[in-house]
């Protein structure tokens, strides 16, 4: 059996869930394959898990595995389908929303149930975030589910009287932020309190995003939050290796290769991009690539250093924003920052994915990611600490939502398939931040 080619194996009739010949023993084998795949994804990640390792862990052969699943992507799809079904059951039970204690209670319940589903299927959610690129084979299925789910949320928002924000945009922001916030909670990307406290704070911010006129007494049922945020020190930058002096022509060549790398990593992911893809996109030969880069990892290091430098400038600008002026000028300053942030995020999104997926252990990359993330977190906290609120809100939760807006909303908008200008994306981000985190607040005279 092991001498058969993949195509020969796949041509045989499969034992799918509805197959009349699968039987009890076959169903047990199939379930064992699924369970072992989930365990291996958790231990080694999607890219680090092979069909051979799944078959070995499940105590079967590759040939037998292919009778049940055409590929590891198909197993992944089945697991994602389970996650989606669980989330859909929860949204069907979502009650009326609104700027009232009852409306807030319904939203709070839904977020708690979402967190429960997330924790149950955390491995799949995390792995999807790690392989989510436009050419992923399972992406159409996921995007189809997301659109269906968001349409249900939109209908609930319309019936609940959401105003001042487009219901479709509010639905997209709501589901995107809740998903990414739970991703942060699970992976520890930002400091967050325990599950119950994190869900409480997320519920407050999402309630205000949807209904900014919600009175503070609607949150009275929540317990007091802990005092003070967790301040992460920004790591000292690594000693930089001086770049060789290049001629104008060589510098242009390197720039073209870097631009092609950034684009392909965003479109296909780091693992889905080969050197041949890079040189074809840049319009050069392999020899030219290897003249300036040791390998694909070296290219990722260079792009990461670029991203860290640009991120540091943006973080400094964000930290310098002063929210003690008049409301119109404060929001104009934040909008200007967001307008510059969106193309930065678009260029380096493939780099950011490689930072968080967990399968790359290069010390230099880890250090670059930690420096950039800590600097952004510190800048966001400084901005949020200028705000005095008439309700209780954990600042780490507020910072987590703010960073989720930066990290996820630009991509979520582009995934709709609509041609949306960067400034329009920035406007939506600003609207979410103002309604959820800055609306109805009194600005302090100074920030720590």
248-366 domain in CATH 3.30.70.580?
A: no
pLDDT (average), residues 62-74 = 88
In sequence order, the 6+-apart residues with CB closer than 8 A to the CB of 106 are 94, 95, 96, 97
Could you give the residue ranges of the DSSP H alpha helices within 60-166? 62-68, 72-92, 101-120, 122-131, 139-159
Q: Residue 18: what pLDDT? A: 46
pLDDT, tens digit, for every residue of 132-184? Answer: 666 666 667 777 778 888 899 999 999 999 999 999 999 999 999 999 999 99
Q: What is the rounded CA–CA span in Å between residue 253 and residue 238?
A: 26
Dmax (CA) of the chain: 74
CA distances, 265 to each of 131, 164, 227, 290, 302 (Å): 11, 37, 41, 18, 13
| Higher pLDDT, residue 288 or 235 | 288
| Nearest in space to 329 (alpha carbons), one of 321, 317, 320 | 321
Q: Residue 289: what pLDDT? A: 96
DSSP-derived letter for residue 436 is I
User: Does the pLDDT of residue 415 top 80, yes or no?
Assistant: yes
**How would you class 403 by CB atoms within 10 Å of its CB: exposed for 0-12, middle for 13-18, buried for 19 or more?**
buried
Give this prediction's pTM.
Answer: 0.83
pLDDT (average), residues 230-250 = 71
Query: In percent, how much of the chain has pLDDT > 70?
Result: 85
| Lowest-confidence region among 155-164, 236-245, 322-331, 396-405 | 236-245
User: Does the pLDDT of residue 95 top 60, yes or no?
Assistant: yes
Secondary structure element (H or E) that encloses residue 387, with its range: strand 387-388
In sequence order, the 6+-apart residues with CB closer than 8 A to the CB of 419 are none
Packing angle of the helix pair 363-384, 296-320 (nearest 10 deg): 20
Q: Where are the domains of the chain?
A: 6-70, 80-229+393-432, 248-366
In sequence order, the 6+-apart residues with CB closer than 8 A to the CB of 280 are none
Q: What is the CATH architecture of 6-70?
A: Orthogonal Bundle (1.10)
């Amino acid at each position: 059996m092991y001498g058969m080619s993949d195509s020969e194996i796949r041509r045989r009739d499969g034992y799918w869930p509805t197959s009349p010949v699968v039987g009890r023993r076959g169903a047990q084998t199939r379930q064992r394959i699924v369970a072992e795949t989930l365990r291996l994804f958790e231990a080694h990640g999607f890219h680090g898990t092979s069909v051979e390792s799944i078959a070995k862990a499940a105590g079967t052969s590759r040939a037998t595995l292919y009778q049940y699943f055409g590929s590891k992507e198909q197993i992944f799809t089945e697991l994602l389908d389970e996650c989606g079904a669980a989330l859909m059951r929860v949204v069907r039970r979502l009650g009326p929303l609104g700027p009232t204690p009852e409306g807030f209670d319904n939203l709070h319940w839904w977020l708690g149930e979402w967190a429960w589903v997330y924790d149950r299927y955390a491995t799949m959610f995390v792995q999807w975030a790690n392989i989510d690129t436009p050419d992923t084979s399972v992406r159409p299925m996921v995007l189809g589910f997301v659109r269906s789910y968001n349409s249900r949320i939109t209908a609930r928002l319309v019936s609940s009287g959401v105003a001042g924000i487009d219901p479709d945009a509010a639905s997209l922001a709501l589901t995107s932020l809740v998903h990414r916030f739970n991703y942060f909670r699970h992976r520890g990307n930002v400091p967050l309190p325990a599950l119950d406290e994190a869900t409480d704070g997320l519920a407050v911010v999402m309630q205000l995003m949807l209904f900014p006129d919600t009175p503070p007494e609607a949150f009275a049922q929540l317990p007091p939050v802990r005092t003070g945020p967790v301040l992460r020190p920004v790591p000292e930058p690594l000693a930089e290796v001086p770049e060789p002096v290049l001629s104008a022509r060589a510098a242009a060549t390197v720039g073209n290769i870097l631009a092609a790398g950034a684009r392909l990593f965003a479109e296909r992911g780091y693992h889905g991009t080969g050197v041949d893809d890079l040189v074809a996109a840049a319009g050069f030969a392999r020899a030219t690539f290897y003249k300036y880069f040791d390998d694909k990892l070296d290219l990722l290091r260079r792009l990461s250093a670029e991203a860290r430098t640009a991120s540091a400038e943006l973080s400094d600008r964000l930290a310098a924003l002063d929210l003690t002026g008049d409301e119109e000028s404060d929001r104009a300053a934040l909008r200007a920052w967001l307008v510059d942030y969106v193309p930065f995020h678009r260029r380096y999104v493939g780099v950011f994915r490689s930072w968080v997926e967990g399968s790359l252990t290069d010390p230099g990359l880890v250090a670059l990611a930690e420096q950039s993330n800590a600097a952004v977190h510190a800048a966001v906290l400084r901005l949020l600490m200028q705000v005095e609120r008439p309700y209780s809100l954990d600042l780490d939760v507020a910072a987590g939502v703010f960073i989720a807006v930066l990290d996820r909303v630009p991509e979520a908008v582009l995934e709709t398939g609509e041609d949306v200008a960067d400034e329009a994306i920035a406007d939506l981000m600003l609207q979410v931040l103002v309604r959820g985190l800055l609306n109805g607040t009194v600005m302090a005279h100074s920030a720590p």
